[in-house]
Homo-oligomer: A and B are copies of this chain.
């Protein structure tokens, strides 16, 4: 075995880098900076550089990386990232539907388990759940072939006009926030009348509740909406 051989480590850490790049590069697949990765992953920027160099120079590179110019997923990297994302969202759905987890707690557990389940496990829970298309936060579950439909929703904070909307999805990043949203009846599928939106204060009405609802900016930022079909 030649000494300079780099094996393609698919470790938990590698998975997390790939997921972060996928999330940060957005739908237009823009290059992602080291700093933003470092922020998101909670590691030092130097650690990011290190890892990116490793990922880029392996036999089957998972990223395309140029010094000082950010990073992008390679085809293989994207495949793996979507596989892990699929694991994550299937597990979330499973915890919610089958094991009766409260919505706020599915993310943390899925975040750990997504790296360790087998293909068989993935397939079995997908069957059990009837091949769901969305997780309980309203996020789309990538198909086995890695295809994902385009997002048509927008962040509530991007909204300019008033009107009636449907909650498309809620962020899974912050359990506390999520619980507060749920307490206000804001869960995927809920109907929402946006009455007005002065800066940093969102006045809403939800179905069945007469009183107006004020949402702070951080709460609103965790909600994506689409037009009431």
Residues of A within 8 A of B (CB): 95, 98-101, 105, 108-109, 112-113, 116-118, 120-121, 124-125, 128
Q: Find out whether the CB atom of B113 lies under 8 angstroms from the CB atom of A101.
A: no
Min CB distance, A191 to chain B, in Å? 31
Please give the distance in Å from A92's CB to the nearest CB on chain B. Answer: 13
Residues of chain B lying within 8 A (CB to CB) of residue A116:
112-113, 116
The CA-CA distance from A34 to B112 in the complex, in Å, is 32
A117: B residues at CB distance < 8 A: 109, 113
- A98 CB, min distance to chain B CBs, angstroms: 7
Closest Cβ–Cβ distance, residue A13 to chain B (whole Å) = 14
Question: Please, could you name 23 A-B residue pairs with CB atoms under 8 Å apart, sorted by A?
Answer: A95-B121, A95-B124, A98-B98, A98-B128, A99-B121, A99-B124, A99-B125, A99-B128, A100-B124, A101-B120, A101-B124, A105-B120, A108-B118, A109-B117, A109-B118, A109-B120, A109-B121, A112-B116, A112-B118, A113-B113, A113-B116, A113-B117, A116-B116
Closest to A128 in B: B99
Closest B residue to A115 using CB positions: B116
* A interface: dominant SS: helix
Chain B residues, Cβ within 8 Å of A113:
113, 116-117
Kindly report which residue of chain B lies nearest to residue A117, judged by CB atoms. B113
Given the complex of chains A and B, what is the CA–CA distance between A211 and B153 in angstroms?
67
With both chains docked as a complex, state the minimum distance between the C-beta of A111 and any C-beta of chain B, in angstroms.
10
What is the bound-complex CA distance between A137 and B125, given in angstroms?
Answer: 22
> Within the complex, what minimum Cβ distance (angstroms) separates A155 from chain B?
30
* A127 to B: closest C-beta gap in Å: 9
Q: Closest CB-CB distance, A192 to chain B, in whole Å?
A: 31
Residue of B nearest to A102 (CB): B120
Closest to A123 in B: B99
What 10 pairs across the A-B complex have the smallest Cβ distances? A99-B124, A112-B116, A116-B116, A109-B118, A113-B116, A109-B121, A99-B128, A100-B124, A105-B120, A99-B125
A170 to chain B, nearest CB (A): 21
